[in-house]
Amino acid sequence: MFRLGAGPSLQLTIPQAAELLRTNESQIHRWIRDRGLPAVLFREQYRLNRVSVMDWAQRHQIALADTGIAPTTATQSLAAALKRGGIHRGVEGSTPAEVLASALSRLQLPAAVDLPLLQEMILARAARGTLCIGDGLAIPHARYPFIACLPEPILSVCFLAAPVDFGGDSPVTTLLVMLSPTVRAHLQLLSSLARALASTLREPVLSRANDAAILAAAVAFDATTIAGHP
């Protein structure tokens, strides 16, 4: 199973890339030629970087092998995800890589999760300036969720010790770190978070309210959306 665990090799052969992308070797060659799938020709054989391939798959909406997709509830509880991820203050770092590493180190993730690879995947997305949402907020996540060993989605609010440039219109002061075990859970949680930031969650997060107030805002959001009144 391809997941963030057990330190998988970052270099893939064509057959390994075909397995990861759930296709055949001929299709991999066509994608390299026609769709920009990143590959390096070494001694007359292609080698592909796992992180680059997974990021390419994210951008082209191509599913990876063994993602662990399973039915989930219609709506992800924002408060439950936040309780699992927690609220963290004074997250240190002066670059995106540094603050992201600090934020991820504070999360209680399964031992099988390969943190360096997870960080690379998120930074690959950040390099395209797609994580910043304004007002000093950024949502670090890999667009394609692949942490199959994660039991439930998690959301973590991380207040940075100092603003950091993530390539958006303004420096980032708060990271809303989101990790999910399946595509469905990822999309549902991302949708819930976006709507919550437009309603109950925005003011307490922007004002850096105390933990109880931020969690109460997430509970209030759940009370309306899960009850069927988005």
What residue segments make up the domains of the chain, in order of their start?
11-59, 78-225
- The identity of residue 173, as a single letter, is T
Dihedral angle sign, alpha carbons of residues 181, 5, 178, 187: negative
In whole angstroms, what is the distance from residue 182 CA to residue 65 CA?
Answer: 12
pLDDT at 79: 96
pLDDT at 72: 38
- Flag whether the pTM goes above 0.95: no
Scanning the structure block, which residue is given the tokens 């330190």? Answer: 7
The stretches in the chain having pLDDT less than 70 are: 1-10, 51, 55, 58-59, 61, 63, 66-76, 125-130, 142-148, 183, 226-230
In whole angstroms, what is the distance from residue 216 CA to residue 84 CA?
Answer: 15
Contact indicator for 204, 87 with CB cutoff of 8 Å: no
pLDDT at 211: 98
Q: What is the CATH number that goes with domain 78-225?
A: 3.40.930.10
**Alpha helices of 127-210 — where are they, by DSSP H?**
183-197, 202-206
Scanning the structure block, which residue is given the tokens 């002061």? Answer: 173
